[in-house]
Amino acid sequence: MERTMYPLDPKEMPTAWYNILPDLPQPLPPERHPVTKEPCPLDMPLPPPLFPDAINKQEFSKERYIEIPEEVQSIYRLWRPTPLYRAHRLEKALSTPAKIFYKYEGVSPAGSHKPNTAVAQAYYAKKEGFKRLATETGAGQWGSALAMGAMFFGLELKVYMVRVSYNQKPYRRMLMETWGAQCVPSPSPDTEVGRRILKENPDSTGSLGIAISEAIEDAFAHDDTKYSIGSVTNHVLLHQTIVGEECRKQMEMADAYPDIIVGCIGGGSNFAGQFLPWIRDKISGAKPDLRVICAEPQACPSLTKGPYTWDYGDEAGLAPILKMYTLGHTFVPPPVHAGGLRYHGMAPIICHLYKLGLVEARAEHQLATFKAGVTFARTEGIISAPEPNHAIKVVIDEALACKESGEAKTILLAHSGHGHFDLAAYDEYLSGRLKDYEYPEEKVKEALASLPQIT
Amino acid sequence: MERTMYPLDPKEMPTAWYNILPDLPQPLPPERHPVTKEPCPLDMPLPPPLFPDAINKQEFSKERYIEIPEEVQSIYRLWRPTPLYRAHRLEKALSTPAKIFYKYEGVSPAGSHKPNTAVAQAYYAKKEGFKRLATETGAGQWGSALAMGAMFFGLELKVYMVRVSYNQKPYRRMLMETWGAQCVPSPSPDTEVGRRILKENPDSTGSLGIAISEAIEDAFAHDDTKYSIGSVTNHVLLHQTIVGEECRKQMEMADAYPDIIVGCIGGGSNFAGQFLPWIRDKISGAKPDLRVICAEPQACPSLTKGPYTWDYGDEAGLAPILKMYTLGHTFVPPPVHAGGLRYHGMAPIICHLYKLGLVEARAEHQLATFKAGVTFARTEGIISAPEPNHAIKVVIDEALACKESGEAKTILLAHSGHGHFDLAAYDEYLSGRLKDYEYPEEKVKEALASLPQIT
């Protein structure tokens, strides 16, 4: 019998998240205050206190392992441990000697990795006595995950959803509502900033930057409310390490260790959750040859094209200033289907590792990623979201390189979720209507001109 | 640690399907020929030979176990064994002493139990040298599963999809196309029957009966093509027993045996796949108190309202005449969202067991099933398809009865799949637009008037 799935017994599910901060070869550049632009001490939560205390502490923790509260573990167990698969059929279709594995987060009720942090963030907010959460969402992936997380702890949730997506993609809105959250199109008449923008432009289709501003304003305006974010920050990456921690145990079951780990990056949390628990072996020198490849869209290539500099985490300039590879916080990427990869910057931890030469990056065109996604669907069965299709494209390239060189490398794919809500994009691809977007060099140049001035 | 998931090691996946036929306390009434209306010998495949030989043999096999071909097992392993869960959160929400378990088929790439038979049917067609399959689909659940099955064996597939669904529910059509199948709206200009109907009524929205006729005509018209069906027949129920066979092992891991098993029935294959491997214990006398409850829609209540009589399996009268509880083969049920439960008859095996008093049946209204589905989503996280919501309704009723009586019964739910393509129905429910349909007594009376006359 050819072994395909490596399920981890629920009793073996890791009970701690892995924190890379103490293992970094050089410390992460400190965040800067959005108004004063001065460095903030690492052990002091930034004003404004957007997050619960426990989250602020995790953001800068020096502990290598942080225990996952039993209440969070208990919800993780509704779908975790997630399966690790060996992609025998894809390997055969490519005639590659490479061994391809994939860890699949699509089995969560929300269909992606996002609940790993949503559940944790909701738990801490509840524990500290808050009643409500506010957040933004683009295509709705994060909003629906947090809707589920908030529901489990009896928290109210208001999601500000970018209006163009709210109108075009009603299914994730319905998902949020089924789990009991309130979802409004952004800009909305419910906040100061929303009213201002609607007054200036009643037909505004919104942007993630506006939605963030609305969610933050909402959290500020209500004492019982905290803001919640779905990627980029250290604590989100921390919560996602449950993925890689599980995967290490499963790869051991398969008697395998990856030569190459591949994942897609938007804000970076999905892939960091997988690779951080492995890259410590590279940092420590135990596995110096381990390669980690980040896949990003050609339409929004932060790592491969952006400068490493100081920039706001959000468009409105309310969030901390972070040292990132960035295309500029006012940059609006072309409308590729991989909505989760349309972020101007990148998680500071990933940027830091990229700067240190510990991870690689590759930018892919939309059409090629859908071609890869269809190959995956027609061999492994799973219809993937447009985001992981970027990683699948890179995996296939690496597997074909193995065919060329005759090397039987072990490739591990971080598969972040299914594409059940993205079938219209597949339809566009299959009917020849899907197109590529060139890297919008001029727009980036313009956006980079408005970076915060840090001396 | 509270145990939630009972994953079965892939090495423990059953390697044989369970065939109930030799264990029935009385033999199943033989099928009758659609034209001569004479009983057909059980060991003779009915003309016309719609199915591959191996399938025809399985339909009337006397073997208790039929080995699952290694090629089929290998594809099952892309998502099987499927998980068994203990519904702790639902139990708590209901304050019931009952122990609720559910076996979840939503993890298959097509999102339901349907691939269990789709893969097997595609395998046998391929093995016997056929190049193509033809089938019909209503809402697209079965068509997409067979698209996946056909793809794995390099078979072409043409799906005749009821036109009203083709237009209203494009996502499952896209799913079929992503897996490489051709999907056309039925009635289509591609068949004699389709052209005839389009000539009479160019705006025909189609029906499952018409689509079946088109698929059968297609299979007849091509020597390299076989017809494939997604429920009702004995061989489909047989292939689905992988679900119950796995579940027996998992319930043993949980040190539990069900007092009550609940599932939804349309053609009956999903639920029979779960309960047949258990009901043999009731037939043998080992577990005389085991209760098996079939949940059907009030809008299409074959078991609870139909007579037990001879009727065609399809609307056009091309398929064999079966002894069934039926509402009449010309009956068109009201448009409830549970498209998979809108079948006029019922699997003969289930009808036989119902007649013998070995299984019970209960009819549920749509609104109550969505209420149950939302309760499930807000406790267990999973958004269920409208079909299993019928079963969830019954499970909740039984669990509340336990609360009343103080009995800690063990309830096992056959959960057939997720509702990712049914969110518009949840939206209707949550916004108060969803309505119930009364049992259409007059229409049934009319349909029952056109039953085949069997002397």
pLDDT digits (tens, 9 = 90+) for A61-94: 999 999 999 999 999 999 999 999 999 999 999 9
Within 10 angstroms of residue B8's Cβ, the number of other Cβ atoms is 19
Same domain? For B278 and B334 the reply is yes
Q: Determine the Cα–Cα distance for residues B284 and B261; give it in Å rounded to an integer.
A: 17
Q: Are A378 and B151 in contact (CB under 8 A)?
A: yes
The contacts of residue A395 (CB under 8 Å, 6+ apart) are A100, A262, A372, A411, A413
> Using the beta-carbon criterion (under 8 Å), do A85 and B78 form an inter-chain contact?
yes
Same domain? For B249 and B187 the reply is no
The contacts of residue B72 (CB under 8 Å, 6+ apart) are B119, B120, B123
Residues of A in Cβ contact (< 8 Å) with B179: 377-378
Q: What are the Cα distances from residue B93, in Å, to A21, B259, B377?
A: 40, 21, 12
Identity of the residue in B85, B151, B174 whose CB atom sits nearest the CB atom of A427: B174
Amino acid A222: pLDDT: 95
Amino acid A206: pLDDT: 86
- Picking from B1, B112, B246, B337 by the largest number of A CB atoms within 10 A of its own CB, the best residue to mutate is B1
Amino acid A255: pLDDT: 97
Same domain? For B123 and B105 the reply is no
Same domain? For A422 and A409 the reply is yes
Q: Determine the Cα–Cα distance for residues A260 and B108; give it in Å rounded to an integer.
A: 28
Residues of B in Cβ contact (< 8 Å) with A5: 10, 77-79
Identity of the residue in A75, A378, A421 whose CB atom sits nearest the CB atom of B180: A378
Is B381 inside any structural domain? yes
Amino acid A46: pLDDT: 56
Q: What tokens appear for A40 in the block?
A: 């903030």
Q: Determine the Cα–Cα distance for residues B235 and B246; give it in Å rounded to an integer.
A: 18
Same domain? For A125 and A189 the reply is yes
> Using the beta-carbon criterion (under 8 Å), do B74 and A3 form an inter-chain contact?
no
Using DSSP's 3-state secondary structure scheme, residue A23 falls into helix
Q: Determine the Cα–Cα distance for residues B204 and B189; give it in Å rounded to an integer.
A: 12
Q: How sure is the predictor about A208, in pLDDT bands with cuts at 50, 70 and 90?
A: confident
Q: Are A119 and A71 in contact (CB under 8 A)?
A: no
Is B16 inside any structural domain? no
Same domain? For A339 and A428 the reply is yes
Is A36 inside any structural domain? no
Identity of the residue in B107, B179, B430 whose CB atom sits nearest the CB atom of A378: B179
CA distance A30 to chain B (A): 38
Q: Are A108 and A99 in contact (CB under 8 A)?
A: no
- Picking from A171, A375, A429 by the largest number of B CB atoms within 10 A of its own CB, the best residue to mutate is A171
Same domain? For B123 and B161 the reply is yes
Q: Determine the Cα–Cα distance for residues A387 and A409; give it in Å rounded to an integer.
A: 24
Amino acid A43: pLDDT: 53
Using DSSP's 3-state secondary structure scheme, residue B347 falls into coil
CA distance A82 to chain B (A): 11
Strand ranges (E), B68-219: 84-86, 99-104, 132-137, 156-162, 182-186
Residues of A in Cβ contact (< 8 Å) with B7: 7, 9-10
Amino acid A333: pLDDT: 87
Q: Determine the Cα–Cα distance for residues B179 and A419; give it in Å rounded to an integer.
A: 13
Share of chain A above pLDDT 70, in %: 98
Amino acid A41: pLDDT: 62
Is B39 inside any structural domain? no
- Picking from A1, A144, A376, A421 by the largest number of B CB atoms within 10 A of its own CB, the best residue to mutate is A1
CA distance A243 to chain B (A): 17
- Picking from A114, A374, A423 by the largest number of B CB atoms within 10 A of its own CB, the best residue to mutate is A423
CA distance A211 to chain B (A): 23
Amino acid B48: pLDDT: 60
pTM: 0.96
Q: Are A4 and B77 in contact (CB under 8 A)?
A: yes
Of A247, A265, A270, A267, nearest in space to A257 by CA: A247
Same domain? For B313 and B326 the reply is yes
> Using the beta-carbon criterion (under 8 Å), do B3 and A10 form an inter-chain contact?
yes
Q: What are the Cα distances from residue B195, in Å, to A363, B136, B143, B163, B223?
A: 50, 16, 22, 14, 21
Residues of A in Cβ contact (< 8 Å) with B180: 378
Amino acid B46: pLDDT: 56
**pLDDT tens string A218-275:** 998 999 999 999 999 999 999 999 999 999 999 999 999 999 999 999 999 999 999 9
pLDDT in tens, chain B (455 residues): 678 999 999 999 999 999 999 999 999 998 888 888 888 765 555 556 789 999 999 999 999 999 999 999 999 999 999 999 999 999 999 999 999 999 999 999 999 999 999 999 999 999 999 999 999 998 899 999 999 999 999 999 999 999 988 988 889 999 999 999 999 999 999 999 899 989 999 998 888 888 988 998 999 899 999 999 999 999 999 999 999 999 999 999 999 999 999 999 999 999 999 999 999 999 999 999 999 999 999 999 999 999 999 999 887 787 889 999 999 998 888 888 988 898 899 999 999 999 999 999 999 999 999 999 999 999 999 999 999 999 999 999 999 999 999 999 999 999 999 999 999 999 999 999 999 999 999 999 999 998 998 87
Residues of A in Cβ contact (< 8 Å) with B112: none
Amino acid B44: pLDDT: 55
**Single-letter code of the amino acid located at A138:** G
What's the total number of domains in chain A?
2
Which residues are A85's β-sheet partners? Answer: A5, A102
- Identify residues of B whose CB sits under 8 angstroms from chain A CBs: 1-5, 7, 9-11, 73-75, 77-79, 85, 89, 107, 109, 111, 148, 151-152, 170-171, 174-175, 177-180, 374, 377-378, 380-383, 420-421, 423-424, 426-427, 430
Amino acid A282: pLDDT: 98
Of A189, A208, A229, the last residue of a domain is: A229
Using DSSP's 3-state secondary structure scheme, residue A137 falls into strand
CA distance B420 to chain A (A): 7
Amino acid A260: pLDDT: 98
CA distance B219 to chain A (A): 24
CA distance B156 to chain A (A): 13
Tell me what the mean pLDDT of segment A17-43 comes to: 87
Chain B, nearest residue to A417 by Cα: B109
Same domain? For B434 and B311 the reply is yes
> Using the beta-carbon criterion (under 8 Å), do B426 and A3 form an inter-chain contact?
no
Name the residue range of residue A225's domain: 115-229
Chain B, nearest residue to A425 by Cα: B174
Same domain? For B103 and B153 the reply is no
Of A229, A254, A288, the last residue of a domain is: A229
Same domain? For B275 and B325 the reply is yes
Tell me what the mean pLDDT of segment A21-48 comes to: 80
Is B53 inside any structural domain? no
- The distance from CA A242 to its chain's CA centroid, rounded to whole angstroms, is 14
Q: Determine the Cα–Cα distance for residues B262 and A123; give it in Å rounded to an integer.
A: 33
**pLDDT tens string A128-159:** 999 999 999 988 999 999 999 999 999 999 99
For strands A291-297 and A360-364, give the pairing. parallel
Using DSSP's 3-state secondary structure scheme, residue A411 falls into strand
Amino acid B22: pLDDT: 97
For strands B84-86 and A65-67, give the pairing. unpaired
Residues of A in Cβ contact (< 8 Å) with B104: none
- The distance from CA A61 to its chain's CA centroid, rounded to whole angstroms, is 20
Bond before A48 cis per omega within 30 degrees:
yes
Chain B, nearest residue to A10 by Cα: B5
Q: Are B307 and B351 in contact (CB under 8 A)?
A: no
* Total beta-carbon pairs less than 8 A apart between chain A and chain B: 123
Of B170, B194, B229, the last residue of a domain is: B229
Within 10 angstroms of residue B284's Cβ, the number of other Cβ atoms is 11
> Using the beta-carbon criterion (under 8 Å), do A5 and B77 form an inter-chain contact?
yes
Chain B, nearest residue to A430 by Cα: B178
Residues of B in Cβ contact (< 8 Å) with A371: none
Using DSSP's 3-state secondary structure scheme, residue A160 falls into strand
Tell me what the mean pLDDT of segment A322-342 comes to: 91
Q: How sure is the predictor about A205, in pLDDT bands with cuts at 50, 70 and 90?
A: confident
Q: Determine the Cα–Cα distance for residues B159 and B132; give it in Å rounded to an integer.
A: 11
Chain A, nearest residue to B370 by Cα: A178
Q: What is the CATH number of the domain that holds A214?
A: 3.40.50.1100
The strands making up B84-86's β-sheet, listed across from edge to edge, are: B5-6, B84-86, B99-104, B410-415, B260-264, B291-297, B360-364
Is A38 inside any structural domain? no
**Single-letter code of the amino acid located at B418:** H
Bond before A288 cis per omega within 30 degrees:
no
Is B330 inside any structural domain? yes
> Using the beta-carbon criterion (under 8 Å), do B180 and A426 form an inter-chain contact?
no
Q: How sure is the predictor about A318, in pLDDT bands with cuts at 50, 70 and 90?
A: confident
Same domain? For A360 and A245 the reply is yes
Is B36 inside any structural domain? no
DSSP letter, residue B247 = H
